[in-house]
Structure 1
Amino acid sequence: MTTPLLEVDELCVDFALPHGTVSAVKHVSYRIEAGETLALVGESGSGKSVSSTAAMGLLPDLARTRGAIRFEGEDLLAATPKRLRRLRGNDIAMIFQEPMTSLNPLHRIGRQIAEVLERHRGLKGRAARERVRELLEQVGIPEPERRLDSYPRELSGGQRQRVMIAMALACEPKLLIADEPTTALDVTVQAQILALLKDLQQRYGMAILFITHDLGIVRHFADRVCVMRQGELVESGETRALFDAPRHDYTRMLIDAEPRGRKTPVTEDAPMLLEAHGVRVRFPLKKRLFRPSTYFEAVRGIELAIRRGQTVGIVGESGSGKSTLGRALLRLLDSRGDIRFEDTALGGLDSAAMRPLRSRMQVVFQDPFGSLSPRMTVGEIVGEGLRVHAPELTARERDARVQEALGEVALDPAMRRRYPHEFSGGQRQRIAIARALVLKPEFLLLDEPTSALDRSVQATVIELLRDLQRRHGLTYLFISHDLAVVRALADTVLVMKQGEVVEQGDTQALFEAPREAYTRELMRAAFLDAQTA
């Protein structure tokens, strides 16, 4: 047998923590041949990223490894730090999940990519700049010469991910490790990034270790699949064979974890809860002393009506104005146009006048970890709104309401004395929902509440939201770029592009027969898995 490009042999990774040792990876073995794509899949916490980080020699000091990771026959676990630095970026490169945190916000794009070329290839000055320009062009960055001098904040999410790919490919590595490279991206951008990776793989002849929790991507991207659960490898095989006949119950659960079911529509005579006419939001681009300021119009004349008990879904790519519209409807942003909540016109209300309505209109944000204070216990987080909106409650009554809210989202009330970092992503999202529910609202703005979650966790959160809506008659405005989730939750859908609604209608009718080319493009990208199955 020929020597594989990468061979992981009985790898074990343990973390020595103050309260004991945690085994993150347990006797995992797999191999990748030159030019092959191997997908490593599983839920968060399954050990996928830890095993790949071990291959790069990037584990923290508290990690202890056993077994072997061989690259072209050389054991990386036994390699010196100097040897690993020569391999990293040159023969083995990595793309991380979140490009905004992986790129230095203080340095221009061109400089960050050129640093790799200087370290490994000795290129400097004009030669390095020309090579960087070529790389940006190869990964599809528009106007590459101009973008050399851009900062990460000036690029979209998809463009930042392309920059990360350009940086990883600068030295034409033999192995590319892609750790959840498309998780935070819109479906159309996701499809573009996957097509780009395939094209570059064929051009350079490199192997790809693709780490993801999204089996829809894996189905049409990988040659072989390894399934991990709780640090162990539970199943592996060729992609088509594994999807057609999965042997392990866990693999079947992952494959079947797509959002399912449809919401029962509300009746046409249900009372109107929120209406908006001609809503516009603009942001200043440049303020000038003696000349008119210039503005960017993020939302352009939106019309919207939501009945009690209804779920309206808003979909579209990043930058389409979805979240801006949602915040404008709740008067979290200044806007023009007419917005009414029941019989109350919100347009002229300042923050003090809006306060009595806040308890009836609540928000659940996209990132449950970023929106929960790490310095407060879960009980304090959930109960914080009660201190503002129900000051008449005693401490005992407030604690009882907190426990009730946690029970509503299927969390043990005894957990209320813990901190957010002690919970999984799905549990943190339930805490965020409990924080909104504790005030007994009528209307919930759900802004990408499932985008950062595993498919299996997504399914449980979706079912939770359906159940809460049935029990409490809640009304939802659900913002997402995940069309499969929107189809499972929404009565009607608005499709937004560049601040405007390009199509809207009944969910089932719109998904079965979209009229607009943009909507069809979103559908193709979102359900490519179903089309190619």
Structure 2
Amino acid sequence: MTQPLLDVDKLSVTFQLPTGPVTAVKDVSFSIAEGETLALVGESGSGKSVTSTAAMRLLPELAKTTGAIRFNGENLLEVSAKRMRRVRGNDISMIFQEPMTSLNPLHRIGRQIGEVLVKHKGLKGDANRRRVLELLNQVGIPEPERRFSSYPYELSGGQRQRVMIAMALACEPKLLIADEPTTALDVTVQAQILDLLKSLQTQYGMAILFITHDLSIVRHFADHVAVMRQGEVVESGRTVEVFDAPQHDYTRMLLDAIPRGRKVPAPADAPVMLSARDVKVRFTTKRRLFGGNDHFEAVRGIDLTVRRGETLGIVGESGSGKSTLGRALLRLLKSEGDIRFEETDLAPLDKSGMRPLRSKLQVVFQDPFGSLSPRMTVGDIISEGLKVHRPEMNRRQREAEVIAALEEVALDPGMRNRYPHEFSGGQRQRIAIARALILKPELLLLDEPTSALDRSVQVRVIDLLRDLQAKYGLTYLFISHDLSVVRALSDDVLVMKEGRVIEQGPVETIFTSPKEPYTQALLKAAFLEEEVAA
């Protein structure tokens, strides 16, 4: 039998914390052969990233590791630090989830890739530059000569991820560890990155350890899969076999954690809640030396109508203008055009004029950890709006409203004196929804409210939003690049690209019979192409 390239044998990782030892990985075993892709899947906290970091010997000193991690027969847990430095980059490389935090913002792209070649290959001068340009071209960076001198902030998210791949491949490693490399990317960019990794794998014959919580990617990308839960591998095998006949209840739960069902349509004669005509948003990008400004038009003349109890899904890639449009509709950004909420014309209203309407127009943001103050208790966060919009209420009345709001989103009111960091991502998003609901709003702007959550948590949040909408007749503006979530929640869909509406209509029409090539590309990239009519 051929020896595997990487063999992880009964790996355990325990962190020695002041409060006591915490075991993050327990007796994990799996192997990867040359040229093979193994996907390590599971929810947040399952131990996937700790396992991959252990393979690179990058865990902090407070981590105690037992078992064996054999690479080409050599146990990496027993080699010297000097030997391990030779293995990293040369034989094993890693792509991290967020390239913006992995790339040095003060150094140009060419220099950062070139450092890898200097360190591991001793390649300097013109030879170094030629190899860097070759790598940039290989990973599909446009105008590599110009991008060689660019800083990370001058590149898009997809381009920064390609730079990370170029750095990882600089020394032609035998094993590439990709830790959630597409999570923060649009579906079309995600598809491009996956295609790129597959083609480079074929070219170099390298093995890939692919870490993700997105099972739709795994089905299309991996040869084998290992499912992790609470630090343990609960099931493993060929991807096709695990997906078609899962043996473990947890695997079945993950596979079943996809948004199902369709929204119950609002009454056809429901009154118009929000309407907009020819909405435009312009940002000043540059002030000229001799007067005048240069402008960037982020939203370009958009019309829409949303009735009470409806959900309008707004989709598109990053930079398409969808979040800018949402904020403009709620007058959180200066805009041009006609915007009406019920019978009120919002266009002429200033900040003070909008204040009485704010309780009716609420927002739930993408990252609840960033939008919830870490210095306030959950009870104070949720009741904050009441102090502004219901000043006549006393403390006891506000607390009663907080308790009711927490119960509404299925959270224990007894936890209202805790702080945001003591809650999971899904619980924090429920807290953000409770904060919005406590003011009894009529319209909610939901800006990517599920994109940072595990699939199983996403499904629970979607069910909660559906229930709340049915109970209170809420109207939603739902902004997302996750098309399966949009389909499950929306009545109508508006597809945006470069600030314009490319296509709009009923959700089923858009998903089953898209007319525009851009919409078709979005569906295909999201692995929903089987639902597009021939």
TM-score of the aligned structures, taking structure 2 as reference length = 0.97
For structure 2, which runs of at least 5 residues remain unmatched after alignment?
A: none
- Shift of the alpha carbon at 1:19? 2.4
Corresponding residue SS for 1:162: helix
1:5-29 CA-to-partner distances (Å, cap 9, x unmatched) read 1111111111222322221111100
2:159 aligned counterpart, secondary structure: helix
2:351 aligned residue? 351
Q: CA deviation at 1:200?
A: 0.5
1:494 maps to 494
Q: Map 1:466-481; keep pairs closer than 5 Å.
A: 466-481=466-481
Aligned to 1:416: 416
Structure 1 residues 376-385 or 501-510, which shifts more?
A: 376-385
Helix, strand or coil: the match of 1:84?
Answer: helix
User: TM-score normalised to the size of structure 1?
Assistant: 0.97
2:105 corresponds to:
105
State the 1:377 CA deviation: 2.0
Over 3 Å counting, the alpha-carbon distance change for 1:62 and 1:395 in structure 2 is farther
* Structure 1 residue 174 corresponds to structure 2 residue 174: yes
- Compare 84-93 and 278-287 and name the one that shifted more: 84-93
Residue 439 (structure 1) shift: 1.5
Retained in 2: the 8 A contact 1:319–1:498?
yes
Secondary structure at 2:421's aligned position in 1?
A: helix
Answer whether contact 2:523 2:529 (CA < 8 A) is retained: no
Matches within 5 A, 1:510-529: 510-528=510-528
The CA deviation string for residues 200-237 of structure 1, in whole angstroms up to 9 with x for no partner, is 01111110000011111111110101011111111100
Q: Distance in 1 between matches of 2:109 and 2:276?
A: 41
1:45-444 maps to which residues of 2 (within 5 A)? 45-444=45-444
Alignment RMSD (CA, Å): 1.5
Q: Which 4+ residue blocks in structure 1 deviate beyond 3 angstroms?
A: 528-532
CA distance in 2, matches of 1:380, 1:78: 51
Moved more, 189-198 or 402-411: 402-411
Query: Which amino acid in the other structure matches residue 73 of structure 1?
Result: G
Q: Distance in 1 between matches of 2:483 and 2:515?
A: 16
Q: Distance in 2 between matches of 1:217 and 1:530?
A: 15
Counterparts in 2 of 1:529 and 1:19: CA distance versus 1, 3 Å: farther
1:117 and 1:128 in contact (8 A); partners too: yes
Amino acid at match of 2:404: E
Moved more, 18-27 or 204-213: 18-27
Letter in 2 for 1:127: A
For 1:313, the aligned partner's letter is G
Q: For each residue in 1:105-127, what CA deviation from the matched residue of structure 2 results, as whole angstroms up to 9, or x when unmatched? A: 22222222112111111222332
CA offsets, 1:88-117, max 9 Å, x none? 122111111111222222222222211211
Cα distance in 2, alignment partners of residues 478 and 361 from structure 1: 13
Distance, in Å, in 1 between the alignment partners of 2:80 and 2:350 is: 62
Residue 21 of structure 2: aligned partner: 21
Q: Which letter does structure 2 place at the counterpart of 1:383?
A: S
Aligned position for 1:456:
456
C-alpha distance after superposition, 1:139-175 (max 9, x if no partner): 1111111111222222111111111111111111111
Q: Label 1:384 to 1:126 Cα distance change in 2 as closer, same or farther (>3 A).
A: farther
Which residue is 1:12 aligned to? 12
Query: Deviation per CA, 1:431-479, whole angstroms, max 9, x where unpaired?
Result: 1111111211111100111111111111111001001111111110000
- SS across alignment from 1:485: helix
Label 1:453 to 1:530 Cα distance change in 2 as closer, same or farther (>3 A).
Answer: farther
Counterpart in the other structure of 1:485:
485
SS at match of 1:461: helix
In structure 2, C-alpha distance between the alignment counterparts of 1:509 and 1:72, rounded to whole Å: 53
Query: SS at 1:15's partner residue?
Result: strand
1:422 corresponds to which letter in structure 2? E
**Residues in 1 aligned to 2:115 and 2:352: alpha-carbon distance in whole angstroms:** 51
Q: How far is 1:83 from its partner?
A: 2.2
CA distance in 2, matches of 1:490, 1:174: 45
Distance 1:312 1:80, change over 3 A: same
Q: Which range is displaced more, 274-283 or 95-104?
A: 95-104
Q: Is the CA contact (8 Å cut-off) linking 1:220 and 1:529 kept in structure 2? A: no
Q: Number of residue pairs matched?
A: 532
Counterparts of 2:432 and 2:498 in 1: how far apart (Å)?
29
Cα distance between partner residues in 2 of 1:378 and 1:85: 45
Instruction: In structure 2, give the amino acid aligned to 1:182.
Output: T
Name the SS of the counterpart of 2:8 in structure 1: strand
**1:499-510 → structure 2 map (5 Å cutoff):** 499-510=499-510
Alignment partners' CA distance in 2, 1:116 and 1:418: 45
Tell me: CA distance 1:372–1:83, structure 2 relative to 1, closer, same or farther (3 Å). Answer: farther
